[in-house]
Structure 1
Amino acid sequence: MATVIKTNDIGRVAMLPALRDAAAAAAELVTLWPLSEALQMDNDAKYAENLQVRITRTIARILTGEDVTVPDAEYVYEGAAEIPGRPQTVVDALLRANEAYDAISAYSESGDAKLVMAASAMLGVDWDQNTVNTVAESLESIGSSLGLSDDGLKATLDPEGIAQRFALSIVSINTLLDAIGIDDPNQPQRALPALIFFNELQERLAIPRVFLSDHDFTGMLNARTEGSVKLISFAEFISPLAQREWKKHLEDVLWDPNVAKEQAKAEDERKNKEALAAKFAHVQNNDDGKEHVEL
């Protein structure tokens, strides 16, 4: 039977210092919404596209164990079905990753667990029937917790409200990973549905999305198996990664090419001045302005 989402677990996770730091970063980001400036809206759209490229690359690297590159992921995201000079196994894995990413995207609005199961099938995860049943029960439990919490949780965008929602998200994913039975970090493929489900859960709870590299993902699984308290270890591992991503998202949205150009120009001028000063550092400065002469 699937693990029940416990309120005291959410409270324990929400009080962790690392999670509260992450929640503060998320609050700084979400206060920008709704975006009204054209440049910021364009920047956010580019961030979303880039995030899908980054996540599908992570998925393909885990599925294949091969060195999937950023250009590989970009080409497939843009519609390529083959890439000259690159293994077709890489391209096929990226195609499956994008298909699953798109298939699960409606969960944030509908909460339909069938979308999670469909995306899992697209990724070709190796689950037996007992695991499928346990995962389905776990998703039902998660859905019930979200349904009871939706109105109250979405009403607050302050750090405390975000901390509570982020904690709920972490407890939910931990429950899903328990249902999958991922006790061996050397088999991360089995847990891949949790990776794409995580962000749809975040979106449903009005929390910014998170990026995990393949190393981050296997590290997260290791944290759950090696930690003395699995849930707390998981939360303490994921929180700094979320904080890092939310700071990046904020920087990406606020990026202004004109300001960036001026900053780059100022930095070049500073470096040139430092280089010039270093070049003539051996020349003594005399009060009379005349060249020093040795007697």
Structure 2
Amino acid sequence: MRWLVTGGRGMFGTDLVALLRERGDDVVAVGSAECDIRSLEAVRATLRGFDVVVNAAAWTAVDDAETHEAEAFAINATGARNVALVAAETGARMVHISTDYVFDGTATAPYRPDHPQNPRSAYGRTKAAGEWAIRATNPDALIVRTAWLYGEHGPNFVKTMQRLAGEHDTLNVVDDQIGQPTWTKDLAPYVVELVTADRPGGYYHGTSEGATSWCGFTREIFRVSGWDPDRVTPCTTSDFPRPAPRPASSVLAHDDDVIGSWEQRIAAYLAAVERV
């Protein structure tokens, strides 16, 4: 099977490409320099002869999108539509990586894949528009929503907390935003399984099981790392105002719990990073 991964050098893309090569698949990873997905011509020139294309390219600077929504839209919506269109033209199976930010975060139960979108931020609006464009252009595409990603190959919350732990005696961390920390190395096989099992086009949720707050997540990072979790104290979102509104609760529901609990997976991640 021949794969193309746009955004293939990002945190998730790097793990996906490594897994595909371990499987013996033929995989090509491209970044914006090789394929600017904002250009339909560039996508058509690149996406030839592939069985599967995974679109992991995205504008992910959530706060910056508030003042650069057009630029974010060009990548997250127009770019996603371009990949979907060319995948349909060439017969390649498309997988698109999306986000919990397409929901408003007010639900009292986990969001089902078919729950109506209602984004509150510019970033969320551009990602929701990308989902809509893909469904309109290529109904066979697999749209995989994920959340709170961390991994070895890029900046992320876990690395930030580890750095801050060495700089401060105590940390105040937001305790009124609830989500599902998810390791990119766990998301990669989930995506591969969706493709190899020939799952029908539509929405899927790829996150760890369970849920926690940013504060709870940080306390677990400290505990597993052998630091005192009481160094981490809770605070509210209003204590750390940001340009983009954050979902208060963005837990995603999924019928196939294949990734494992977030506590188990952060422990596995920290152990793996320590061994490197």
TM-score, structure 2 normalization: 0.29
Structure with the bigger percentage of strand: 2
* Structure with the greater alpha carbon radius of gyration: 1
Which structure's relative contact order is higher, taking Cα pairs within 8 Å and 6+ residues apart? 1
Tell me which protein shows more helix as a share of its residues: 1
